[in-house]
Structure 1
Amino acid sequence: MKVSIGIDIGGTKCATVLGNMDACDSIDSLILDKISFATEGSPKAVIAKLIESTDDLLQKHRISREMLHSIGISCGGPLDSKKGVILGPPNLPGWDEVAICAEFEAHYHIPVRLENDANACAVAEWKFGAARGYRNVVFLTCGTGLGAGLILDGRLYSGTNDMAGEVGHVRLTQAGPVGYGKAGSFEGLCSGGGIAQLAKMRILEKLQAGEKPELCPSMAALDDITTKDVAIAANAGDEFAKSILAESARYLGMGLSILIDILNPEVIVLGSVYQRNAAMMYPYVQEVVEREALPLSHQVCRILPAELGDRVGDCAALALTLLEE
């Protein structure tokens, strides 16, 4: 049995996942076990706990260190994947110039690979999910933020200094919700956090016009509106909530058209918000893509919801251990 460890480092929690890499056809068989804990304390303390949890999983399943094949680490950027160094992600205060791969390599003496979380999720959907079998893949996170992982000609593409795929920073319009520090950006209009902002803008317009939308009938509740609230209302038939998702979906179509024209992918896989609301959003995305993208490029590109869902984080770091150098 080829055994690897996946390390997922997030702003609020970390996870150590034990995987049987000979069982890639089934996620249930792939993931043997998992330990999660809060991301608390210094980077040194968290890394020590990650190593401890790795040792605990190996001991629990009676796997010797010699049997461990490799380790994959998924973490928010910026980072230096070649040197294996985390470079101060916004969601990880104090994680500046942390040589995390060296720590694991010194302990286990096996290959360790670090990639940003969008790249790792792209690899997971490519190896185990909706993009399996394709060579040119774009994966969009569509979560709290919006980033992309790129598989080009059958290889993960990270760019010159691991900054490839930061599509959330692209401005789609001059005014609108703020994402990635820019008003009207792809992230501001199409991420989970951005859709919540968009909803508040549209609700405020209604309230100031004297209307009381069912989604939020008073100013007092405006700050508490979330993307989940919008999605629930839309799925229950609220036309106003549907219009908010449709507006975001049209901007998503604009952003995807740019990616289709530039990268000529075979498939674009969309996670999180889109994955949960694909049936409602897809017609508006498709309408814009058919109008804006080059026909020859659009005709060979499928737009699909992610398959791995909430398990993508568990699979992402493990998937990195399947990559060739």
Structure 2
Amino acid sequence: MFADGKTEEFRAGIVPLGGNAEIPADTGYSAADGRNFSLNERIVMNIIHTVDQTHIRSINQRVILERIYCDEPISRAELARELCISKSAMTENVSSLLDIGIIREVGAGVAMSTGGRKPIMLKFNKNYQYIIAIELNFEDPIFVLGNLRGETLNKITVAISNDSGYEERLELVVNAANRLLSTAELSTKDLAIIAISCPGVFDPESRNYYAESHFANWKMGDLSRQLEELFETQVLVVNDVNAAAVGEFNSGAGRDAKNLVYISGGQGFGAGVIINGELYLGSTNRAGEISNSIPAGPLGLVNGKFGNLGYSVNIRALKEYICAKAPQKTKDAFAALGKNPDSIGFKDILWVWRGGDKFLRQRVEEMSVIIGAAISNIISLLNCDLVILGGDYVAFQSQMLPTINRVVRESAFAPVNVVSASLETNAGICGLFALSRDIIFDKVCNYERT
């Protein structure tokens, strides 16, 4: 302990929360053994204290902003009481958020039963900034302009042919984004972030993008960089299944779950994992890439080699199976639509399946068993609360879900329900808005996640 009663921990820069770390201007600040603090030591201690206080302030503002967002309108006194923050600290933090403009005062509330002045209520400013969310995983990409509440101001789709080159794709995206802004009479200064969901894996540090060959024309690294330059804003790139998982967790079928897995079946086959309320990405952003897992049953080994779950049950595999093995009756059903097995799309398959075609019904049943086995393994591994089936295969839910749940009940160590996604094609957009809002809140409050 030092001569003035301060401890060694204080000298090392470890200051209790709320402690006073002011250092005298003179050099007479000495330890019991006569050592004086050097100027450099005092500077370091001041810096550490400033960093500590700045970090605490950022945490407080982030928590306050989140609570106002969730529970508006709310008074300063209610916030202070619920968050256990002193009234003076609450006043300071709220003033900062008011100055920024992300919250606002909206008039007087109800006075306490004991009397006194009516409190001034605080409300979240949903139009503080705006978000453009882009989903590229559909045949016709979806573009949505929304506010910080995720309310849609405008929504458009843009047709892009599969053989379009990157420059054409970039031009279409830029034109669509500009159109969204102009119709809402907004400029790039009003735009907080552009959020994009797409298949594959994107590394935000290197901007390297790993995806199926048919999606390579998007060149996501170049696209994100050029959009940042053109619109002078941050660009967030998220795996499409992860975005949908966050959407269902926040606004859809997973609202009451803490740990869930979202399974997307269709053009690809992947999973989004939510653990303790947070999206789990893994060490290199590749968590949930279950397409590369080994399928159950005879598809596990093909010609002596391990199979691939995605290639066994995705839409491409289904179409190939139809082309190779469809009986004449099934071919006739497609012919009635003006198609042959080589030219069918997923909508054609759905039409014939809904008509009760026995061949397709049998194949969907076989796929359901394979998917059910994969989900059972995931449940046993993660011990989650819920599994949500989404993507294109939601269209098969009336047949798939009973079979998948039967397999799960029979096989999983601790079975949970497998349910259908409730947001349909809006899941990814909802997820992009939720992820973007967190980034904006962190930036406003200078909050750094660890």
TM-score (norm 1): 0.78
Deviation string for 1:150-175 (max 9, x for gaps)?
22221222222222211111112474
| 2:201 paired residue number | 78
Output the CA distance in 2 between the equivalents of 1:82 and 1:135.
Answer: 29
Gap regions ≥5 residues in structure 1: none
Cα 1:269–1:229, aligned 2, differ >3 Å: closer, same or farther?
Answer: same
Output the CA distance in 2 between the equivalents of 1:31 and 1:186.
Answer: 39
Q: Secondary structure at the match of 2:255?
A: coil
Q: Secondary structure at the match of 1:171?
A: coil
| 2:420 paired residue number | 305
Letter in 1 for 2:370: Y
| 1:16 paired residue number | 143
Output the CA distance in 2 between the equivalents of 1:48 and 1:227.
Answer: 28
Cα 1:222–1:245, aligned 2, differ >3 Å: closer, same or farther?
Answer: same
Match of 2:331 among 213, 216, 239: 216
Q: Secondary structure at the match of 1:98?
A: helix
Cα 1:322–1:226, aligned 2, differ >3 Å: closer, same or farther?
Answer: same
| 2:123 paired residue number | none
Letter in 2 for 1:34: I
Q: Secondary structure at the match of 1:321?
A: helix
Larger RCO (alpha carbons 8 Å, 6+ apart): 1
| 1:263 paired residue number | 382
1:308-319 to 2 correspondences below 5 Å: 308-312=423-427, 314-319=429-434
Deviation string for 1:2-39 (max 9, x for gaps)?
421112335854443211331x4xxxx43533252426
My pick for the range that moved more, 123-132 or 32-41, is 32-41
Match of 1:5 among 132, 138, 162: 132
Deviation string for 1:291-316 (max 9, x for gaps)?
1100xx31xx3211112223445545
The answer to whether structure 1 residue 159 and structure 2 residue 286 are counterparts is: no
Identity of aligned pairs, percent? 24
Aligned length: 305
Output the CA distance in 2 between the equivalents of 1:171 and 1:160.
Answer: 21
Cα 1:72–1:178, aligned 2, differ >3 Å: closer, same or farther?
Answer: farther
| 2:258 paired residue number | 135
Q: Pairwise CA RMSD of aligned residues?
A: 3.3
Output the CA distance in 2 between the equivalents of 1:121 and 1:290.
Answer: 25
Conservation of the 8 A alpha-carbon contact between 1:84 and 1:114: no
Cα 1:287–1:14, aligned 2, differ >3 Å: closer, same or farther?
Answer: closer
Letter in 1 for 2:143: T
| 1:235 paired residue number | 354
Bigger CA radius of gyration: 2
Cα 1:87–1:249, aligned 2, differ >3 Å: closer, same or farther?
Answer: closer
1:12-91 to 2 correspondences below 5 Å: 13-22=140-149, 24=150, 29-30=151-152, 32-38=154-160, 42-87=165-210, 89-91=212-214
Gap regions ≥5 residues in structure 2: 1-126, 440-448
Give the ranges of 4+ consecutive aligned residues of structure 1 lying more than 6 Å apart after TM superposition.
none
Letter in 1 for 2:412: A
| 2:313 paired residue number | 190
Cα 1:89–1:78, aligned 2, differ >3 Å: closer, same or farther?
Answer: farther
Output the CA distance in 1 between the equivalents of 2:358 and 2:278.
Answer: 43
